[in-house]
A and B are shown apart, each in its own frame.
Chain A
Amino acid sequence: MNKTSDKSFFTFFMDGLRWTLTGNTIYQVYMGLLFICMTIGFYAYTVQFNQGLSVTGMNNIVSWGLYISNFTFLVGVAAAAVMLILPAYIFRDKDFHKVVIIGEGVAAGALVMCLAFIIVDLGGPLNAWHLMPVIGVFNWPSSILTWDVIVLNGYLLLNLGVPLYILFCHYNNREADERKYRPFVILSIFWAFAIHLTTAFLYEGLPARPFWNNPLLGPRFLASAFAAGPALIAIVLTIIHKWTVFKIETGIINKLRIIIVVAAIINLIMLFSEVFKEFYFPTHHSLSAEYLFFGLDGHNALVPRIWFAISINIIGTLMLALSPRRNAPRVIIPASVLLFTGIWIEKGIGLIVPGLIPSPMGEVTDYIPTWVELWVTAGIFALGIFVVTMLVKSALIIEERYERQKAAVSS
């Protein structure tokens, strides 16, 4: 292979961007919607930036809201890429090897959203450099938040670096050298567990908040992530299979389904264990759970949401586990959507907000997000979906060309 004929990284990037922005009419509408959401989200953020976080529904009692809830949930989605990476690289599963790049794309998009949610939640985003090692003051190892900064950024680099290296090689019609990237793949497997455990420890390490100060939090984060993340990947794969020229073998989706079912069942068992502990012999420490499931002092904003979330969580799990047509896309897609949404509500807002209610002084208040928060959140989701689309679409096009090229050479 002639090295000098290599196209530059810049053309690689520009081609990727071009592929992302072009497509048929439906695709253009989809892109247009993403840009509209991003624009309104950006406008909403300028309002918040100028007036302060007082334009959100947060207050001194519920001091974290929608942003941190979504951050927490999306860390799980990002971590779930490991459920494809592990079988693909360790067990050398051929099916998974073909789609692992899609999993990594989803993870990178989720991480971009996580970091964006952290930035918009900061009271002083311009001071964010204070948190950077060397030029700022990094309270490591004492503050778990500094650990989270390390693991999230590291995981983003791993999940961008490895696929970009492979794709860039294939883009130039070269075989990627597995000896070069394999160590980083192995590292990213451990790293995936680290990002989610570290994020759980953010909450788990606070004796001030009995609802979070619970050793099951970390493991349950992992279980729910390994259900919700692969559910999202299954949805993405099915969409790619049905609406694009790229075909995904049904065997892959079935394997994913089994992973989702196992993780979802473990998650439900842990949920049951938590509910038992809170309600068999309720103490003062159970007040947050009481607020979440039944309401407290007449405040019950989360009650319908949590019951809805748990119901669709169970329905989704049962559909994936027991439905006679469970391998058909028309079961897998709705079941995955139900499961994903259920875990999103339960592990996002259903975990963060009740942890802060009642306040340590026993005061109860409801938290209602404002339009600013809702639009900023929508904008960040649009940004994340855009990033995932860009990575996945470019990856699919490059891979397909590369395979065709390889076939042409060998024949």
Chain B
Amino acid sequence: MMSSKYIQEEFSDIIDDIFDKKTGRRSFLKGMAGLAAAGSSLTLAGCSNNSPFSEENILRLKEYFKGNFTLMSQEDKNATIKRLERLAKIKDGLDLKISSKGPIPNVLFGFALNVSRCEGFMDCVQACVDENNIDRKTKTQCIRVFEIEHGEMNVQSGNGKYFHEVPVDNHFYMGVQCFQCENAPCIKACPTKATWREDDGIVVVDYNWCIGCRYCQAACPYWGRRFNWNDPYIPAEELTRKQHYLGNRIRPKGTMEKCTFCIQRTRTGRLPACVEICPTGSRVFGNLLDPKSEIRFVLENKKVFRMKEDLGTDPKFWYFVD
């Protein structure tokens, strides 16, 4: 399982951290980690029956005392990712590839949905669940599609739980998800800065920093946030292994999650899963700062509107009609 050499190294690391007072807060936290090792690693490790100083428990402990993602150096980010990958390997034998790729300069992501074209197949909903490793036990969905009768133009009057053949005459379909507001009430509400807007406009959550108070969920006017009420369950064969720290990596229980415009895909130049799968081509995604992008074409040439514009949240998600 683990060599005694490994334990020695880890221990001397921790001891060094305790007595190294130069670097201030971080080393204080690491010192606490060391001191707390004997006692709390058992609690943190849950029911694992290995010794309190097993590799797994030491990794968990270091994870427990790590800081907020926005305050990490690239070195810290690499270290935590290594730990997370190693933990997944030890615990579930999974080979994960977790990225911490930052925003691309001069990119501001935007989304548009063609309501006259969408026929309500909900392929986007399923693709999102699959791509983003969303809990199957609670059947959580980050995209919802509402069936609305002609003559209405608001989701509140629509039906979000239809189980019949689509499209239905006299009805149209409106998908909703996190709208990545520029002026996001959820960010303002979070007491620990565990959620913030990245430079490319994506609103992300640090799953390890979130304390699970759910104030952001109450603050969101678009019902864009989901909570992990239990440890998420995803069958190993359905797991997406290419992950992002701020995106589709497996969330711990008791933390908030949300749509991240598939940050693990879009920051490498791919489209979000919902856009890629959409059989009617109703979903448009792109860089708002690029005048030649399709999203800019839609904004300049179509009749567009945004949901609950009166709240001043400034979403980067538009609806349009042909």
B50 at the interface (CB under 8 A from A): no
B160 at the interface (CB under 8 A from A): yes
B214 at the interface (CB under 8 A from A): yes
B121 at the interface (CB under 8 A from A): no
Complex CA–CA separation, A123 to B207 (angstroms): 11
Contact in complex: B219, A358 (CB < 8 Å): no
B121-178 residues at the A interface, CB under 8 angstroms:
138, 140, 144, 146, 154-158, 160, 176
Residue-wise interface mask of A (266-289) relative to B, using a CB-CB cutoff of 8 A (1 in contact, 0 not): 000000000000000000100000
B103 at the interface (CB under 8 A from A): no
Contact check: which of B144, B209, B218 meets A130 at CB < 8 Å?
A: B209
A14 at the interface (CB under 8 A from B): no
Contact in complex: A206, B191 (CB < 8 Å): no
B27 at the interface (CB under 8 A from A): no
Contact in complex: A360, B138 (CB < 8 Å): no
A→B interface (CB under 8 Å): 51-54, 58-61, 63-64, 118, 121-128, 130-131, 134-139, 142-146, 149, 202-203, 206-209, 284, 355-356, 358-363
B177-215 residues at the A interface, CB under 8 angstroms:
185, 188-194, 208-215
Contact in complex: A137, B192 (CB < 8 Å): yes
B→A interface (CB under 8 Å): 25, 28-29, 43-44, 64, 68, 71, 138, 140, 144, 146, 154-158, 160, 176, 185, 188-194, 208-215, 217-223, 226-231, 252-256, 311
Q: Known contacts A60-B140, A64-B214, A127-B211: does B220 contact A54 (CB below 8 Å)?
A: no
Complex CA–CA separation, A138 to B194 (angstroms): 10
Q: Known contacts A122-B213, A124-B252, A137-B68: does B227 contact A53 (CB below 8 Å)?
A: yes
Contact in complex: B229, A359 (CB < 8 Å): no
Contact in complex: A356, B218 (CB < 8 Å): yes
Can you list 30 pairs linking A and B with CB atoms under 8 Å apart? Answer: A52-B254, A58-B229, A60-B223, A63-B217, A118-B213, A122-B212, A122-B213, A122-B254, A124-B210, A124-B211, A127-B212, A128-B211, A135-B29, A136-B192, A138-B191, A139-B190, A142-B188, A143-B191, A145-B213, A146-B191, A207-B185, A208-B220, A209-B218, A356-B218, A359-B223, A361-B146, A361-B156, A361-B160, A362-B154, A362-B156
Contact in complex: A60, B217 (CB < 8 Å): yes
Complex CA–CA separation, A111 to B194 (angstroms): 26
Complex CA–CA separation, A139 to B44 (angstroms): 26
Nearest A residue to B252, CB-CB = A124
Complex CA–CA separation, A135 to B227 (angstroms): 25
Contact in complex: B210, A54 (CB < 8 Å): no
B25 contacts across to A, CB distance below 8 A: 134-135
B156 contacts across to A, CB distance below 8 A: 284, 358, 361-362
A392 to chain B, nearest CB (A): 32
Interface of A is mostly: loop
Contact in complex: A360, B223 (CB < 8 Å): yes
Interface of B is mostly: loop
A343 to chain B, nearest CB (A): 22
A128 contacts across to B, CB distance below 8 A: 211
A136 contacts across to B, CB distance below 8 A: 192
B206 to chain A, nearest CB (A): 10
Complex CA–CA separation, A125 to B157 (angstroms): 38
Contact in complex: A143, B190 (CB < 8 Å): yes
B213 contacts across to A, CB distance below 8 A: 118, 121-123, 145
B25 to chain A, nearest CB (A): 7
Contact in complex: A127, B210 (CB < 8 Å): yes
B211 contacts across to A, CB distance below 8 A: 122-125, 127-128, 130-131
Contact in complex: B219, A206 (CB < 8 Å): yes
Q: 6 tightest CB-CB pairs across the interface, nearest first? A: A123-B212, A123-B254, A362-B156, A208-B221, A54-B229, A145-B191
A58 contacts across to B, CB distance below 8 A: 229
Complex CA–CA separation, A144 to B160 (angstroms): 32
Nearest B residue to A132, CB-CB = B192
B254 contacts across to A, CB distance below 8 A: 52-53, 122-124
Contact in complex: B223, A145 (CB < 8 Å): no
B273 to chain A, nearest CB (A): 21
Complex CA–CA separation, A407 to B253 (angstroms): 62
Complex CA–CA separation, A248 to B230 (angstroms): 51
B179 to chain A, nearest CB (A): 11
Q: Known contacts A209-B218, A359-B223: does B188 contact A52 (CB below 8 Å)?
A: no
B185 contacts across to A, CB distance below 8 A: 206-208
Complex CA–CA separation, A239 to B226 (angstroms): 47
B188 contacts across to A, CB distance below 8 A: 142-143
Complex CA–CA separation, A130 to B64 (angstroms): 11
Nearest A residue to B140, CB-CB = A60
Contact in complex: A131, B192 (CB < 8 Å): yes
Contact in complex: A63, B253 (CB < 8 Å): no
Q: What would 8 more interface pairs be, CB under 8 Å, given A124-B254, A361-B144?
A: A124-B212, A130-B194, A139-B192, A143-B189, A209-B218, A359-B223, A361-B222, A362-B154
Contact check: which of B192, B226, B231 meets A52 at CB < 8 Å?
A: B231
A142 contacts across to B, CB distance below 8 A: 188
B301 to chain A, nearest CB (A): 29
A126 contacts across to B, CB distance below 8 A: 43-44, 64
A358 contacts across to B, CB distance below 8 A: 156
A145 contacts across to B, CB distance below 8 A: 189, 191, 213, 215
Contact in complex: A124, B255 (CB < 8 Å): yes
B252 contacts across to A, CB distance below 8 A: 124
Contact in complex: A64, B218 (CB < 8 Å): yes
B144 contacts across to A, CB distance below 8 A: 361
Complex CA–CA separation, A203 to B140 (angstroms): 26
B68 contacts across to A, CB distance below 8 A: 130, 137
Complex CA–CA separation, A410 to B131 (angstroms): 83
Complex CA–CA separation, A127 to B63 (angstroms): 11
B227 contacts across to A, CB distance below 8 A: 53, 60, 63, 123
B190 contacts across to A, CB distance below 8 A: 139, 143
A212 to chain B, nearest CB (A): 8
Complex CA–CA separation, A59 to B318 (angstroms): 28
A373 to chain B, nearest CB (A): 13
Complex CA–CA separation, A135 to B25 (angstroms): 7
